[in-house]
Every structure is written in C-alpha cells, then in structure tokens.
Amino acid sequence: MIALLFIIFGLASAQPVHAASTAALGVQPIQSTYQRDKNVTYFDLLLKAGQVTPVQVKLTNSSNSAIKVNVQATTATSSNSGIVDYTGGSNTSDRTLQHKMGTALKGASSVTVPPKGSKTYSATLTMPSTSFSGVMVGGLVFTPANQATATSGKLGVVNKYAYTVAVLARNSSTILAPKLEIGTITSGRIKQVNQIQAQVRNTTAAFANHIEAITTIKTPSGKTKTLRLADAQMAPNSKLYQTLALGTKVKADDYQVNTTAYWGKSSTGAYADGHGNHYQYRTNTSKTVKITQTQAAKLTKAAAKVHNGMPKSYIIAIVVGVVLLLLIIFLLIVIFMRRKQSSQKLADLEKQVADLKNKSDK
C-alpha cells in the first residue's frame, strides 16, 4: 500500500504536507514567472493559448547515497470520499474533460539526486492551441525508487512514500461557476460488495467546493438507507460515486433511489439541506433501479461464496496439500524409526560379539 504524502492538499487552503522525518528526499517547487498567485506553494499558471513553459521542481537529498526518483505527470480526479486526487489514482475523469494535464505536461520519467546534494527537475507544459475557459489541473508525482520495504501492524502493510505537487494552468483569471449533475444510478457487484451506486459529475472546468451529496435508497422491505457526503471537493471535469451496500442476500424488486447534490455553500443560498446549511446550487435525480430474479440470484451466490470462504477448488487444493504434507511427515517418521531399530539391532549384535570375546578370553 502506497501512502501518498501530498505536498499540496486542496486549492484554496492548500498547505504543504511533508513526509516522515526519515525521508531523505525533499521537494520544493520553483516559482514560475507566470505564477498567478505568488503566495501559494503549488503551480497556478496564467498562460496564453499554445504557450510553452518549463515547470521546475528542486529535489534535495539529505542521505549519503544517490536517490533515483520516478516522476509521473497526472490529471487530477476525485475520490469517492470527496477529495481532489492530484495523483489521478481515483475515479476516471468525466467524459466532458477536454484538456488533460497529464498529456500537456511532459518530462523525464526519472531523475537521480546526488548524495548530500540537489537536482532541478524540469518538465515542459504545452498549453492547448486554442484558448479555453476554466482551469486544467493535475500534478507531478515524485516517488523514490527502490524504497526499503517497511511493514507496520499485524497486517504487514508496506509503507512507501511519494510527493505530489499540484499543477494548475489557465488562460484567464476568470473563475467558472461549477455545475454538478447526477449521472448513472446502477446496481451490481463492485469490489466484492453487492451495492447500488449513484454517480455525481462535475461537468465544468472548475473546482466544485463545499459539496454535499445525499443518496437515499428505499428497499423492498420498506427500509430506508441513506449516505451523506459533506464538505467535499471535486476536481474539474471529474466524477465520484455514492455507494450503498445491499447485503449478502439480495431481493429481486424495484429499489427507489434518490440523489441530491448541493454546492456553493453560502449563508444566503436559496437551498437548505436540512442540516442547517444553505447552498447556491442544487440538483436532484430520482430513479427506480430494478433488480431481476436472475440478477438477485447471481449477486446472492457471489456474496455467499465470499462469505462462506474460499472457492471450492482452493479448498480442495489446500486439503490435498495438507494430506501430502502429512504423508511426507509419516514417511519420514517411518524411515527414522526403521533406522533407529536397525541401529539398535547393530548395537545389540556388537554387544553380543563383545560378550562372546570376553568369555573366550577367560
């Protein structure tokens, strides 16, 4: 498991987060002359259409050995927990995304930092040939290669670290108003869990801040399940999913699903969420999700297989392996006992010969 330690978290409240004190690698963005806000430590560049500019980061090494660092340019996405992921490792981008930072930003895939020294990493950012509204967002991810494997906890989790520097680029300082939409609402087995998931989409090239998303499902038994995501943020042209588990025994029926998303938190907002918060914008979708008898049986069977343990073929293989191991142990014991008996017989025979010799000497 890679624990990513972000240099930049969020946008308006971006703050550096440093790796553990044992980390020898240091990462420091070198401010560009095209920096829009000189007071932030991430890149926020105001550029012309088609403009090409370097994006540079100073890497330092406090150890006595050289450090090879792998570098990746990424396009920002959104996680289901409502966090902008500058590594691009969460959900895929929304289909409305036109300009990808991971494509526009190019540089060497690795760099070596000398011991007790520093190295400047330089990538090249090429803006789209035509001017666009909004902001293009991504990052540069710096991961030390050949990290010493360190485990923690009873589960033996492997701890590794990386640094991510956010990179924003735009043609205008005008901030677009974000627009959210409720996308597909589907049922199925996702990540080994039977669930219904509702898609929330940010369809604009702007950050969506202070989002609240609420999904409610009315089950065939009449019970209501609710999932609420509060104070979330989404990357431009990205999506996230609200998922509610159906349990191991899925009933075939119609499930009533209602998803509401609020954003643009404001004390003067026209939309109240029922929790004392007001927002400037709101969107809502209601849908009936039908689970057929065939689908329900398939989902229930899959859940039972996991719930009851490993697949039958795995169990048979383990049993055969255990039996073979026991047979080997048994054979070793038999061989050992026979050798022991043979050794004892030989010792008895030698004793008898010695006794006879003693008698003859007398």
Tokens coding 331: 């054979």
- The whole-number average pLDDT for the span 320-340 is 85
Tokens coding 233: 């943020």
Q: How confident is the model at residue 280 (pLDDT cuts 50, 70, 90)?
A: very high
Tokens coding 9: 């978290």
The residue ranking higher by pLDDT, 304 or 62, is 62
The confidence score (pLDDT) of residue 296 equals 82
Share the mean pLDDT of the chain.
85
- Closest among 290, 267, 263 to 277, alpha carbons compared: 267
166, 141 contact by CB (below 8 A): no
Q: How confident is the model at residue 4 (pLDDT cuts 50, 70, 90)?
A: very low
- The whole-number average pLDDT for the span 338-361 is 69
pLDDT at 153 over 60: no
The confidence score (pLDDT) of residue 38 equals 93
The Cα 179–Cα 321 span in angstroms is 58
The residue ranking higher by pLDDT, 58 or 304, is 58
The Cα 165–Cα 330 span in angstroms is 61
β-pairing, 118-126 vs 110-113, is unpaired
The confidence score (pLDDT) of residue 307 equals 54
The residue ranking higher by pLDDT, 157 or 3, is 157
Q: Give 3-state DSSP helix, strand, coil % of the chain, rounded to 5.
A: 20, 45, 35
- Closest among 57, 32, 56 to 46, alpha carbons compared: 32
The confidence score (pLDDT) of residue 298 equals 80
Q: Which residues contact 279 (CB under 8 A, 6 or more apart)?
A: 210, 212, 262, 263, 264, 265, 266, 269, 270, 271, 272, 273
The confidence score (pLDDT) of residue 134 equals 97
pLDDT at 77 over 90: yes
The confidence score (pLDDT) of residue 158 equals 57
pLDDT at 228 over 70: yes
pLDDT at 21 over 50: no
Q: How confident is the model at residue 63 (pLDDT cuts 50, 70, 90)?
A: very high
